[in-house]
Amino acid sequence: MNAPLVAGVDSSTQSTKVELRELETGALLATGRAPHPATSPPVSEQDPASWWSALVEALAQLRPHLDRVVAMSVAGQQHGLVVVDAAGTTIRPAKLWNDTTSAAQAAALRKRLGAGEWASRCGLVPVASFSITKLAWLADEEPHHLARVDRVMLPHDWLTWRLTDQHVTDRGDASGTGWWSPVDGSYRVDLLGLVVDDPEAWLSKLPAVRGPTECVGPVRGDVADALGLSRDVIVGAGTGDNMAAALGLALKPREVTLSLGTSGTAYAVATSPTTDATGAVAGFADAAGGFLPLVATLNATKVTETVARWLDVDVARLAEMALAAAAPRAELALVPYFDGERTPDLPAATGVWRGLRNDTTREDLARAAFSGVVNGLLAGVDALRSAGVEMDGSLRLIGGGARSAAYRQITADLWGSPVTVHAAAEPVATGACVQAAAMHSGRGPLDVAASWRLDAGTQVEPDPQVDGAALRAAYRDAARSV
- How confident is the model over 182-198, as pLDDT tens digits? 999 999 999 999 999 99
Average pLDDT over residues 112-135: 95
Q: With b meaning 16 or more CB within 10 Å and e meaning fewer, what string describes 299-311?
A: bbbbbbebbbeeb
* Cα dihedral 247, 253, 258, 259 in deg (nearest 10): 10
Cβ contact 47:90 at 8 Å: yes
Query: The domain 5-241: what is its CATH number?
Result: 3.30.420.40
In the chain, the largest separation of any two C-alpha atoms, in whole Å, equals 68
Instruction: Report residue 1's pLDDT band, with 50, 70 and 90 as the boundaries.
Output: low
Q: Which SS3 state, helix, strand or coil, does residue 416 take?
A: coil
280 vs 317: CA distance, rounded Å: 34
CB 423 within 8 A of CB 458: yes
Name the pLDDT band for 358 (thresholds 50, 70, 90).
Answer: very high
Residues of the chain with CATH 3.30.420.40: 5-241, 250-423+452-482
Find the catalytic residue in 173, 241, 345, 413.
Answer: 241
Which top CATH class is 250-423+452-482?
A: alpha beta
- The answer to whether the CB of 268 falls within 8 A of the CB of 255 is yes
Is 463 annotated in the active site? no
Q: Which amino acid would we find at residue 356? A: L
pLDDT at 425 over 90: no
Residue 117 reports pLDDT greater than 90: yes
Model pLDDT for residues 325-356, shown as the tens digit of each residue = 988 888 899 999 998 888 888 888 999 999 99
Angle between helical axes of 301-310 and 362-386 (0-180°, round to 10): 170
Compute the distance between CA of residue 79 and CA of residue 90 in angstroms, rounded to an integer.
16
